[in-house]
Every structure is written in structure tokens, then in C-alpha cells.
Amino acid sequence: MNKTKLIGLILGAFALGAFSYQQVLKVITAADVRGAANIAGLEFTQAEVDSLLPELDDYRKSYEDIRKLALPNSTPMALVFNPVPPGYQMPAGTMMGGYSSAGNAQLPGNMDDLAYYSVVQLSKLIIGKKITSEELTKYFIERLKKYDPKLKCVVTLTEKTALEQARQADEDLKSGVYKGMLHGIPYGLKDIVATNGHPTTWGSKIFKDQVFKYDATVVEKLGAAGAVLVAKLSVGELAMGDTWFGGQTKNPWDMKTGSSGSSAGSAAAVSAGLVPFAIGTETLGSIVSPATTCGVTGLRPTFGRVSRHGIMTLNWSMDKVGPIARSAEDCAVVLSYITGADNKDLSVINMPFTYDAGIKINKKLKIGYLKKDFDKAYPFKTQDSLTLKTLQMMGYELIPMDLPVYPDISFLIGVEAAAAFDDLTRTNKDDQMVRQTKDAWPNYFRQARMVPAVEYVQANRVRAQMIEGMEKVFKEVDVYLNPTWASSSLLTTNLTGHPCVVVPNGMKNNKPTSITFTGKLFEEATLLAVAQAYQEQTGFDQQKPKLD
């Protein structure tokens, strides 16, 4: 009996109820093979197809056996991505040069202004005993309560534990124990980061009751530094966009619009002065985009700089953890406490971070800019052009340059995300997600099933060439500037693991604009010092939205 007739008999039996739909699905046909080959851009003869079919049944049996195993989101891949190219010389450690923006910090006459103090200024107030951590914590908790109904940026207010942490910080200080510049400073946390005993919802009603019995490494490190967690902040569902099961997180500059995402609550809360800093994550723009929209400073560190242990996995080879704050220097302070290996996230490379504010104008620094991108017509062109002129006026020589061009391999993101949330697709739980459009996760997860494993590997080989290509770029410059959204740099550097910091650089239609500084692997100190020098020159980081 030929296979066509066999399929006809099986389908007929299915119509009569002799087989279940699942049993019929187990028959792999020549048409299935040709369809898969067509997606991969291949063509097989009938003899080749006939040879394939028996082994494909064995493959699917293996797939089914794998699916019987428990593979929670926290289970890593055995393959660990490394952004460091062959022969790369890691930056040498130097003594920290200190911070420049603290000044002689005093309590403001109008306490509303305290909401927009820098981390460095607040640190000076606490060490100078001009305010206690408990007083500061209560101050920000009240702001969170007051403005969250408008912004929808808080998932869980951690008031009880925050006050306990703040009182402990005050007791430590009285006893002569000072843990550093984050001692007693309140902060917020993107709600894909595990906290012991508090819900970690991943922005989805599917996981809204999920509670872990441990803290993520970044929470442990911040706790050891004396920082006080006041809120778990909203995240676009499963780290996409600004819409979560509680609604859409709003932009403090325009409450009719969203804050962008997926670090939606982190950026909105910092922008509105509800927390001095917050922790965000990025796979492709999830720090950069909301920081731009909300007019704050966001640092995406080098891949492997900060441990992701205890944080929801979207992409094993692209997820990164970084701070969102008011200034580049504040980001430097936070990064100094969260960096480093923990022997849990095996992608982390234990590199020192040594910030030096004194690098502001170093004539030896080579600053590049993506000329073709800046020459194009795009929304922030006017503001970006002024930024380039400002940097030249400050004494920097700007070097025109281009990034190497490679094929679009962004489908890698969908493949890893689909694996991370495989269970949702196979159980149809993805139907419970808020967004169900063609550009939302449920559809992206399904699309990713159509990517051949061979093409995934080939794309990662292209990625290796991209890493080597970016290394050649950074032989010529120390830092380069690129339009935040009108450039290939965002995708390229997320794939290669390079750090960037996005800073506000003006206003357009009463909303903030931004520009991006991109740097060498593990050289965030230089990157942040240049960005901080620009911010001190312009003051755009001091802009405040009107909330009332």
C-alpha cells in the first residue's frame, strides 16, 4: 500500500472517530517534509523524502521524551554565549577616581524636589545624617502610593520589608557600619526579578501568584550594599512592551501614552521621582526604549557583566541586567555594586568596574559617530545634531564611522524565547496572555517553531563574525554615538553583547528625546564618564515631568 492511500485510510478512520486528533498528528507525511523544506529554502526529490520519513518519526519520539522532563524557565542551556572575541585584551583595572555630581548636598526647601535628587546626593544626605533611611523610604513609599494609580507602574509595594530594611540601615549607621553609597537608598525592581516571599509575576496573569523562596543575585548584592527595596515594578508581559495584566504603564510626560517597555515600570518610576533608581533588563531595547520615552538614563551593561540568576529567562544568549537612574553617574554607582560573578550564572565574567569621573575630557579618547545614520531624516535629528555640536564644543574630536553590515539574524530572539516558554505554546496557555496580535509573543512563539535548527546554528556563526567586526570598529574608537532608534546599532550590539547608555538630549512635542553612547566590552567606566560629562554640560537629565 502506498503512503498516500494509507493517509487516506487514517483520515477516514479519524472522521469515523476511530483515532484521536493527536494520534493522526503523529503521522509525518511527504507533504510535511516538503513544507518544512520549503520554509528552509530547500528542495528534495521523492527518493530523498522517502529516505527521510522513518528517521523523522524517531526525531519526534525524542522530542516527546524531552517534553516529559521538567524544564523550568530557570534551567540554562549547556552552551554559554561569550561576547569576547579571540585575542581580546581585557581592560586593566585602575583606582576609582570618584564621583563628580554630589556637591554639598542639603535637604531642599521644597521637599518635592527631594524626589529628583541623584543617588550620590541622597547618599551624602544619609552619611551626613541629614535624613534617615527610614524617613527617605517613607517619603518614596508615599510618592509610589500617590502616583501609581495614574502611572500603573507598581505590581507589588514592599512596604513592610522596606521599612524593616531601612531601620536596619539606620541601626547599622549608628553602630558605625557603612556599606557604601547605596546604604539606605530606596530602589525599585523590574518584576521579573525573584524576591524571597514576594510575588514575581513576569507581568502575566498566568504567573501573577508565582512566589519564589529565594532572592535573585542582583537583589542579594543590593541588599548587601544596604539598598532598600520599596517596590516590584511593572514589566510588559513576559518582557515585551508596556502592557501587563494590570493595564498599560503610562509615560509620566504624557499620561495618555505608554511608557514603552519592557522595563516599563522601572523607567516610569524613576522619571516620576518615585524611586531614585531601578533595575531593568534588556534583550532588545527593553532598557533603551523606556528610558528614552520617559526621559531618564538607562545603562545596558556588557553581556556577562551582571548575573541573571533568579531573573526570568527570555534569551539565554542576549538577556542583560542594568540600572535605570537619573544620570550616567548614578548608573555607575549602582553598577559598581551589582557587577561580578556568583557561580550561578555561568555567563558572568568577573571583571572589575572602576569608574573615574576625571576622564571627562581626555584628549586621547576617540569618539566616533555613525555619520550615515545621523545624516538621514528621522524624528530626533534636530536634537541629535545639537548633541554632536555640544560634544565638539566640549573639546571632543568626533570621528565619522560606519558599522559593518550583516544579514538580519534577529529571529534568534524568537527561537530562544519560544524555548524558554515552550510549555505555554504546547498547552495553549498562551491564549491567556493579554496581547494576541501578530506582533505579540504567542504568535512569535509559533513563528519560531518554523526556524530550522541548522539555521539557528548558522545565524550564531554569523554572530561570531559580527563580534569580530565590532572588535575592528573599536580598534578605531573608544566610544561611538548613534541615534537611539534610527540605527542598526541597537540590534547589532545586543547580539554582540556591547554596552550602551541612553541619555536624554532634548524635547520634541513636549516629550523627551535621547541619544545613545555605545562602548567597548567591559569598559562601561569610560562610556559612563563621557555620558556624564555631556549631562553636566547640558542638564537634560534634570528635566522633570509635571505629574499633577
* Alpha-carbon gap, residue 268 to 151, rounded angstroms: 7
> Cα(268)–Cα(236) distance, rounded to whole angstroms?
13
Angle at 263 between CA 360 and CA 200, to 5 degrees: 130
Neighbouring C-beta atoms of residue 20, cutoff 10 Å: 10
Task: Give every CB contact of residue 370 below 8 A, 6+ residues apart in sequence.
Answer: 401, 402, 403, 480, 481, 482, 483, 487, 489
Q: β-strands 254-258, 250-251: how paired?
A: antiparallel
Query: Is 262 one of the annotated active-site residues of the chain?
Result: yes
* Active site annotation includes 20: no
The residue to which cell 500617590 is assigned? 146
Options 190, 221, 232, 360, the catalytic residue:
190
Residues 514 and 366: their CA atoms lie apart, in Å, by: 21
Residue 347 has phi, psi (to 5 degrees) of -80, -15
End-to-end CA distance of the chain: 77
Q: Is 190 a catalytic residue?
A: yes
Distance of CA 450 to the CA centre of its chain: 26
| Whole-angstrom distance, CA of residue 373 vs CA of residue 428 | 42
Name the grid cell of 534. Answer: 555631556
CA atoms of 25 and 512, how far apart (whole Å): 52
Q: Which of 234, 262, 263, 487 is catalytic?
A: 262
Q: Which of 118, 259, 271, 286 is catalytic?
A: 286
Length of the chain: 548
Residues marked active site are found at 190, 262, 286
